[in-house]
Structure 1
Amino acid sequence: MDLGLTGKRVLISGSTQGIGYAVAAAARREGASVIVNGRTPDRVSAATERLRREIDASGEVTGISADLTDPAQIDSLLDAVGAVDVLINNAGTFGLMDFTETTDADWQGQFDLNLMAGMRLSRRLLPPMLQRGWGRIVFIGTESAVDVPGDMIPYGTMKAASLALAAGLAKLTRGTEVTVNTVLGGPAYSDGVAATVEQIAAAQSMTVEQLKAGLVRDSSLLQRFIHPREIADLVVYLSSPLASATNGAALRADGGVLTTAY
């Protein structure tokens, strides 16, 4: 299926690995020009070279490194990027935390990256989209924004706020061809998750496959981890002209973790 993304410029925050990279790859396969972002030049360079090497497509691949917790670096990134048709707010951080042991710095770190980075990028890029009459903003959310885990309260709280942010932004697009949506992802086997699973498996004298099965068996209808590309496919559809009637929505790609309707 041709999603109509040929010639569109797509900026994906936090896209050197995992879901962000999978979105960049899927967008490139559809003919879009993709802009990769990461915190370090080396990782950005490696990701852009991999995209060019692995996917034969006509769209341009560029990369810019910026720490998205720093407002000045966000401004510099957007000044360099110029016009963008599609913004994917993917950059984020997560981790298990004992609530009673969390510090203000822990909460501030989650706030700066999981909420404010997407807000700042959207604040700059939404007005030009509205002026041009077309654009897409997709937030990469999580089922943890709806069912906040007790051991990830700062993360779930900020992702819930991000979900509210996207819903509010969508109301600003009334009567235009601009849309703002959120994808609620589930347990995806991203690079970061893979490294954590490998460490835990080694510590518990288990194989990686045994641990992976145990982690999702009781909570997922899918009964396995989600591949980042399975989330990316939905994200890229929402980024396309074909998704013009979907706006202000929170769509699930969670593998059935959320067993009640949202």
Structure 2
Amino acid sequence: MHIDLRGKTAIVTGSTLGIGLAAAKGLAGTGARVIVNGRKQPAVDEALAAIRQAVPGADVAGFAGDLGTAEGCEALVQAYPRCDILVNNLGIFGPQDFFETPDAEWQRFFEVNVMSGVRLSRAYLPGMAAQGWGRVVFLSSESGLNIPADMIHYGFTKTAVLSIARGLAKRMAGTGVTVNSVLPGPTLSEGVAEMLKEETAKTGKTLEEAGADFVKAHRPSSILQRAATVEEVANMIVYACSKQASATTGAALRVDGGVVDSL
């Protein structure tokens, strides 16, 4: 399958590292113009350089700003008013006991993980509908279905994303705009690598080996029995953004290695 997105502009939020950066590289490889986002300009510049190295001749630009705020989202829309493909990847995570999680932390997770995608979808989808074509992908997580007891505030945001994407797909029915969710499972992103840093230093195991041990211990229902790579998750995102995915909408596309034990 050859995915060709030349002439399309894609915005990938939170794309200086991890799944977001891998998705930006993947979309750049299809010929799309890709807008990279991070909070700080140096991180955006590094990501742009990495994409240009991976995809010679890539058409990429950057936006430095905090999309976890209404002001940041508005500034992005002002800078790039047209968008054909929106990948709502921006997200934060971190374990914290329910009884020790204050209101402010619940609000912060909600603003970043949920409202960033809501605000940008509200801004860009009317233009997509007017031209009769568009793609929106929300990054959810298997944690949106298997709510982690130590990250309830995170899991609830990923469940919310599933609801928004499904409802928005219905709202855009018949317009040529598709809206889907992608649900990664354990993935070897920079955040996970940092979490496993002590384990790899202590045991001498590779990151991949430590990741597999983590999956077996903490996600025993995994069929894959290892963590996915960011590229494996990005492949699903790129497909959902493709012209070939024209009949896929309102879907929750799992790249969780079979962690979610349901048909």
Measured in 2, the distance between the counterparts of 1:65 and 1:43 equals 9
Measured in 2, the distance between the counterparts of 1:260 and 1:24 equals 30
Aligned to 1:77: 76
Show structure 1 runs of 4+ deviating over 4 A.
none
Measured in 1, the distance between the counterparts of 2:38 and 2:123 equals 19
How far is the alpha carbon of 1:201 from its aligned partner?
4.4
Q: Report the secondary structure of 2:116's partner residue.
A: helix
- Contact map agreement 1:138 1:235 (CA 8 A) in 2: yes
Give the aligned CA root-mean-square deviation in angstroms.
1.2
* Map 1:102-251 → 2, pairs under 5 A: 102-202=101-201, 205-209=202-206, 211-217=210-216, 218-251=220-253
- Contact map agreement 1:198 1:208 (CA 8 A) in 2: no
Measured in 2, the distance between the counterparts of 1:65 and 1:41 equals 5
Aligned to 1:54: 54
How far is the alpha carbon of 1:37 from its aligned partner?
0.2
Give the letter aligned to residue 106 of structure 2.
W
Aligned to 2:44: 44
Aligned to 2:22: 22
Measured in 1, the distance between the counterparts of 2:199 and 2:132 equals 49
Give the letter aligned to residue 206 of structure 1.
T
Q: Report the secondary structure of 2:187's partner residue.
A: coil
Q: TM-score normalized by structure 1?
A: 0.95
Instruction: Specify every segment of 5 or more residues in structure 2 that has no aligned partner in the other structure, as ranges.
Output: none
Measured in 2, the distance between the counterparts of 1:136 and 1:254 equals 22
- Contact map agreement 2:188 2:211 (CA 8 A) in 1: no
How far is the alpha carbon of 1:109 from its aligned partner?
1.0
Give the letter aligned to residue 244 of structure 2.
L
Q: Report the secondary structure of 2:260's partner residue.
A: coil
Measured in 1, the distance between the counterparts of 2:195 and 2:164 equals 30
Per-residue CA shift, 1:36-60, capped at 9, x if unaligned? 0000000001101111122124x41
Q: Report the secondary structure of 1:63's partner residue.
A: strand
Aligned positions, number? 258
Instruction: Specify every segment of 5 or more residues in structure 1 that has no aligned partner in the other structure, as ranges.
Output: none
Measured in 1, the distance between the counterparts of 2:79 and 2:226 equals 40
How far is the alpha carbon of 1:175 from its aligned partner?
1.1
How far is the alpha carbon of 1:219 from its aligned partner?
3.4
How far is the alpha carbon of 1:82 from its aligned partner?
2.1
Give the letter aligned to residue 63 of structure 1.
G
Identity score, percent: 45
Q: Report the secondary structure of 1:44's partner residue.
A: helix
Give the letter aligned to residue 26 of structure 1.
G
